[in-house]
Amino acid sequence: MFTDSHAHMTCDPPYKELDELLKRAKENKVEQIINICIDKLSLERGFALAEKEKWIHNVGATTPHDVEKEGELYFPLFEMAARQGKLVAIGETGLDYHYEHSARELQQTFLKRYFSLAKECLLPVVIHCRDAFDDLYAIVSEYFPKGQAVLHCFTGTMKEAEVALERGWMISFSGIVTFKRSEALRDVAKEVPLDQMLIETDTPYLAPQSKRGKMNEPSFISEIAQTIANVKKVPLEKVAEVSSKNAARFFNLVY
| Dihedral over alpha carbons 247, 144, 40, 73 (to 10 degrees) | -170
Q: How far apart are CA 249 and CA 229, in angstroms?
A: 21
pLDDT of 254 = 77
pLDDT of 63 = 98
Q: Please list, in sequence order, all residues whose beta carbon lies within 8 angstroms of the beta carbon of residue 96, skipping any fewer than 6 positions away.
A: 64, 65, 107, 128, 129, 130, 131, 132
Predicted TM-score (pTM) of the model is 0.97
Q: How far apart are CA 63 and CA 81, in angstroms?
A: 16
pLDDT tens for residues 131-167?
999 999 999 999 999 999 999 999 999 999 999 999 9
pLDDT tens for residues 206-221?
999 999 999 999 999 9
pLDDT of 146 = 95
13 Cα distance to chain centroid: 18
Whether 110 shows a pLDDT value over 70: the answer reads yes
Tell me the pLDDT band of 255, cut-offs 50, 70 and 90. Answer: low
Residues 29 and 219: beta-carbon distance below 8 Å: no
On the CB side of 177, how many CA atoms lie within 13 Å of its CA? Answer: 34
pLDDT of 100 = 87
- The residue range of the domain holding 88 is 2-251
Looking at residue 99, which CATH number applies to its domain? Answer: 3.20.20.140
pLDDT of 92 = 98
Number of domains into which the chain is organized: 1
pLDDT tens for residues 19-77?
999 999 999 999 999 999 999 999 999 999 999 999 999 999 999 999 999 999 999 99
Residues 224 and 175: beta-carbon distance below 8 Å: yes
Q: Which H/E stretch holds residue 162? A: helix 158-166
